[in-house]
């Protein structure tokens, strides 16, 4: 019998277990751009309430499997976080973020019961349904204890049985893959074998179809070996396991692989280090040779940054924008070679305001380009509107989505020559190689290697697609970042009042100038981005805008950063 009411025993179960996970007073939690994320020692009560939300989400969706990933990605090792994965392997539906936030902020076990009751009533959740949840974590030492709190939450979930499975230590994209596989098993949309091994096998099989074994013509341009900076995190084991499947095709050499020591995750390495420092991780310095490329994963292996040394040994970065530029063109080419018209399948690219202006210019001349607010969920949803939707954040998080119609067109298309057939098969193999659930550093890395091998290009040729405009990102600490409101995909401020007009007047003075201000969704700061034709001017514009922002909201003159102008 269906029920939207918590029984007395449901309530006392919640209260009993909630008493072990009380919220410290004065802490406010927020399900933000990437779920809940903060210092690990504050997360215990949140993990507990997330367990309850995961079970309720499963009940609401006819007992479909919901995923929970415990990670703080590229953040320092002492941080941790948690995010929910919906049945198709994508991010939690946005409307539920508010409920997750409300439960996390309940001030007492009784208040929590009340919040659950409100949620169940508002969403008409049939509590009698069973719930199914799987979870995984990254390598952070705080992970196991947080997982125990999560399990208490799963046990506390009201109504019918909640079944849960510990998938152990995994990359974020593998957990997303598992969720989709398990939910589509035995259906027409079956996504893959629902095991970690199934994931490596799927990627490797597709890669081997695309890039014939070493020695054959197609692969002569692939690198003998590729250095992969694993950020001292969970990407280490995943890279090692994937490497075994790719033997004879490409040799992956993991670097920054110490996952057992304290304090080294993401430190001096990883995708975020490369993007923000714009230099080689120190451990790569003795390893990388001129004209050689390498890549860095982040702490949960969903972001990817490439780079190479030019022939003079100078560091050159190939970020998410460059990846988007590389792969968007490739799909157009393959479709043409397969005899598929642009009317049959449209290719589109989705970026955020942080995309380098030069990449937007380059891409806009070739394909439709859309700008959306920061955060993968926004990019992912926008990309779903194209037959082939390419989305990447500049920081290296992204993937390529194929619509159901695109898959049908590829399946049904009749090639009229062996060459067309080969291109068609390559397109189909790409739909297998590319993770359809979320940005995936390992899958993206193989995609990049395939495109470069086909074109016979190295880092330098790839880099020459366009030249990045000089740019600068600055953080401004303010009392209340909530005072900053934006519109037009976060490119313009609507509050504080009048500030955007001042910015416009300033930006106008700079050749090729572009700048915008937005509150971060993951850190207690306001971010300033600026670019201009010349480096000195990009820096000057960024620091002038930062100064304006600081002064506008009454920043203390005594602690005004000295570089602000
Ligand atoms: C400028 C920047 O890199 N912002 C990052 C950062 O978001 P903020 O809202 O800017 O803090 O973290 C997000 C989650 O990882 C990521 O999606 C986004 O790209
Ligand atoms: Mg990440």
205-255 pLDDT per residue, tens: 999 999 876 655 566 666 779 999 999 999 999 999 999 999 989 999 999
Cα–ligand 1 centroid distance for 375 (angstroms): 6
What are the residues facing 133 on neighbouring strands?
66, 164
State both tokens at 222: 């692939």
C-alpha triplet 106, 107, 113: angle, nearest 5°: 50
Residue that terminates a domain, selected from 463, 488, 518: 463
C-alpha triplet 444, 447, 451: angle, nearest 5°: 140
State both tokens at 226: 């590729």
| Judgement on whether residues 161 and 15 belong to the same structural domain of the protein | yes
Judged by DSSP in three states, 221 sits in: coil
Judged by DSSP in three states, 544 sits in: helix
C-alpha triplet 375, 270, 471: angle, nearest 5°: 60
Flag whether pLDDT at 32 surpasses 90: no
Q: To test ligand 1's pocket by mutation, which of 231, 299, 375 has the most ligand atoms within 8 angstroms of CB?
A: 375
Flag whether pLDDT at 546 surpasses 50: yes
CATH for 87: 3.40.120.10
Tell whether 190 is covered by a domain.
Answer: no
Q: What mean pLDDT is predicted for residues 402-408?
A: 97
Tell whether 564 is covered by a domain.
Answer: no
Tell whether 184 is covered by a domain.
Answer: no
Q: Whose CA is nearest to atom 14 of ligand 1?
A: 34
Task: Check: CB of residue 358 under 8 Å from CB of residue 325.
Answer: no
Judged by DSSP in three states, 461 sits in: helix
Judged by DSSP in three states, 391 sits in: strand
361-391 pLDDT per residue, tens: 999 999 999 999 999 999 999 999 999 999 9
Task: Check: CB of residue 63 under 8 Å from CB of residue 73.
Answer: no
Q: What mean pLDDT is predicted for residues 321-333?
A: 96
Q: From 293, 295, 269, 290, select the one nearest 281 (Cα to Cα).
A: 269
Tell whether 56 is covered by a domain.
Answer: yes
Q: Which residues carry a binding-site annotation for Mg(2+)?
A: 73, 298, 300, 302
Assess whether the C-beta atom of 374 lies below 6 angstroms from ligand 1.
Answer: yes
Tell whether 187 is covered by a domain.
Answer: no
Assess whether the C-beta atom of 376 lies below 6 angstroms from ligand 1.
Answer: yes
Distance CA 299, CA 446 (A): 18
State both tokens at 5: 């009411």
Q: How far is CA 60 from the centre of its chain?
A: 26
Flag whether pLDDT at 454 surpasses 50: yes
Q: Using omega within 30 degrees of 0 as the cis cutoff, is the peptide bond preceding 496 cis?
A: yes
Average pLDDT, the chain: 95
Catalytic residue among 58, 63, 73, 359: 73
Q: Whose CA is nearest to atom 6 of ligand 1?
A: 522
In whole angstroms, how large is the CA radius of gyration of the chain?
A: 24
Tell whether 77 is covered by a domain.
Answer: yes
Assess whether the C-beta atom of 426 lies below 6 angstroms from ligand 1.
Answer: no
Cα–ligand 1 centroid distance for 535 (angstroms): 23
pLDDT at 214: 60
| Judgement on whether residues 525 and 503 belong to the same structural domain of the protein | yes
Name 45's Cβ contacts closer than 8 Å, sequence gap at least 6. Answer: 21, 22, 23, 24, 104, 149
Judged by DSSP in three states, 73 sits in: coil
Assess whether the C-beta atom of 172 lies below 6 angstroms from ligand 1.
Answer: no
Alpha helices per DSSP H over 37-94: 44-60
| Judgement on whether residues 440 and 543 belong to the same structural domain of the protein | no
Flag whether pLDDT at 261 surpasses 70: no
β-strands 485-487, 471-476 pairing: unpaired
Which ligand 1 atom minimizes the distance to the CA of 73?
Answer: 15
Q: How far is CA 536 from the centre of its chain?
A: 31
Dihedral pair phi/psi, residue 403, rounded to 5°: -75, 165
Q: Which residues carry a binding-site annotation for substrate?
A: 393-395, 518-522, 527
| Judgement on whether residues 111 and 148 belong to the same structural domain of the protein | yes
77-135 pLDDT per residue, tens: 999 999 999 999 999 999 999 999 999 999 999 999 999 999 999 999 999 999 999 99
Distance CA 340, CA 332 (A): 9
ipTM rounded to 2 decimals: 0.98
Tell whether 286 is covered by a domain.
Answer: yes
Task: Check: CB of residue 517 under 8 Å from CB of residue 503.
Answer: yes
| Judgement on whether residues 375 and 435 belong to the same structural domain of the protein | yes
| Judgement on whether residues 113 and 215 belong to the same structural domain of the protein | no
Question: pTM for the complete prediction?
Answer: 0.96
Assess whether the C-beta atom of 543 lies below 6 angstroms from ligand 1.
Answer: no
Task: Check: CB of residue 254 under 8 Å from CB of residue 228.
Answer: yes
Flag whether pLDDT at 416 surpasses 70: yes
Alpha helices per DSSP H over 92-210: 95-104, 109-123, 143-156, 172-184, 196-210
| Judgement on whether residues 124 and 230 belong to the same structural domain of the protein | no
| Judgement on whether residues 329 and 299 belong to the same structural domain of the protein | no
| Judgement on whether residues 430 and 555 belong to the same structural domain of the protein | no
Q: How far is CA 189 from the centre of its chain?
A: 23
| Judgement on whether residues 61 and 35 belong to the same structural domain of the protein | yes
Task: Check: CB of residue 511 under 8 Å from CB of residue 560.
Answer: no
Residue 73 annotated among the catalytic residues of the structure: yes
Exposure b/e, 473-505, CB count within 10 A at least 16 = b: ebebebeebeebebeebbbbbeeeeebbeebee
Q: From 193, 35, 47, 57, select the one nearest 132 (Cα to Cα).
A: 57
Tell whether 178 is covered by a domain.
Answer: no
Residue that terminates a domain, selected from 318, 339, 356: 318
Instruction: Residue 68: give the domain boundaries.
Output: 8-169
Q: Whose CA is nearest to atom 17 of ligand 1?
A: 375
38-84 pLDDT per residue, tens: 999 999 999 999 999 999 999 999 999 999 999 999 999 999 999 99
Q: Indicate the number of domains in the chain.
A: 4
Alpha helices per DSSP H over 124-171: 143-156
Assess whether the C-beta atom of 353 lies below 6 angstroms from ligand 1.
Answer: no
Q: Which residues surround ligand 2, an ion (CB under 5 A)?
A: 73, 298, 300, 302-303
State both tokens at 498: 């009048």
């Amino acid at each position: 019998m269906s029920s939207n009411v918590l029984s007395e025993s449901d309530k006392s179960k919640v209260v009993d277990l909630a008493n072990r996970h009380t919220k410290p007073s004065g802490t406010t939690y927020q399900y933000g751009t990437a779920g809940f994320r903060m210092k690990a020692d504050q997360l215990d009560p949140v993990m507990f309430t997330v367990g309850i939300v995961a079970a309720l989400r499963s009940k609401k969706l006819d007992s479909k499997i919901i995923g929970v990933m415990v990670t703080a990605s590229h953040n320092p090792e002492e941080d941790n976080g948690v995010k929910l994965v919906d049945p198709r392997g994508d991010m939690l539906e946005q409307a539920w973020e508010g409920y997750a936030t409300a439960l996390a902020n309940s001030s007492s076990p009784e208040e929590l019961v009340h919040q659950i009751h409100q949620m169940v009533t508002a969403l008409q959740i049939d509590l009698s349904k069973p719930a199914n949840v799987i979870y995984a974590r990254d390598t952070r030492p705080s992970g196991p204890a947080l997982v125990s709190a999560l399990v208490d939450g799963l046990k506390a979930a009201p109504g019918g049985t909640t079944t849960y499975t510990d998938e152990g230590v995994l990359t974020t994209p593998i957990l997303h893959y598992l969720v989709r596989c398990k939910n589509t098993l035995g259906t027409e949309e079956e996504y893959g074998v629902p095991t970690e091994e199934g994931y490596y096998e799927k990627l490797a099989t597709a890669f081997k179809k695309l890039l014939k074994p070493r020695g054959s013509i197609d692969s002569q341009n692939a690198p003998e070996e590729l250095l992969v900076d694993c950020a001292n995190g969970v990407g280490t084991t995943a890279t090692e396991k994937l490497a075994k499947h790719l033997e004879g095709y490409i040799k992956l050499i993991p670097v920054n692989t110490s996952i057992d020591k304290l304090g080294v995750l993401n430190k001096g390495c990883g995708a975020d280090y490369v993007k923000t420092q714009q230099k080689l991780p120190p451990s790569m310095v003795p390893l990388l040779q001129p004209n050689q490329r390498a890549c860095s994963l982040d702490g949960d292996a969903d972001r990817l940054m490439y780079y190479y040394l030019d022939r003079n040994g100078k560091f050159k970065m190939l970020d998410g924008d460059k990846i988007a530029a590389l792969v968007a063109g490739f799909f157009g080419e393959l479709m043409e070679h397969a005899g598929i018209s642009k009317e049959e399948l449209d290719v589109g690219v989705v970026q955020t305001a942080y995309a380098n202006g030069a990449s937007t210019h380059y891409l806009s001349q070739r394909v439709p380009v859309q700008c959306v607010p920061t955060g993968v969920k926004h990019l992912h949803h926008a990309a779903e509107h194209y037959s082939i939707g390419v989305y990447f954040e500049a920081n290296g998080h992204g993937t390529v989505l194929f619509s159901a119609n695109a898959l049908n067109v590829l399946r049904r298309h009749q090639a009229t020559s062996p060459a067309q057939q080969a291109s068609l098969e390559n397109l189909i193999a790409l739909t297998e190689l590319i993770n359809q659930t979320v940005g995936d550093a390992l899958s993206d890395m193989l995609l990049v290697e395939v495109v470069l091998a086909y074109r016979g290009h190295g880092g330098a040729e790839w880099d020459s697609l366009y030249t990045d405009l000089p740019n600068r990102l600055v953080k401004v600490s303010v009392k209340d970042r909530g005072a900053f409101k934006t519109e037009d995909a976060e490119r313009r401020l609507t509050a504080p009042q009048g500030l955007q007009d001042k910015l416009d007047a300033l930006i106008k003075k700079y050749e090729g100038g572009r700048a915008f201000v937005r509150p971060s969704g993951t850190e207690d700061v306001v971010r300033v981005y600026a670019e201009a034709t010349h480096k000195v001017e990009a820096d000057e514009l960024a620091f002038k805008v930062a100064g304006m922002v600081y002064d506008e909201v009454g920043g203390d003159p005594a602690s005004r950063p000295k570089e602000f102008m």
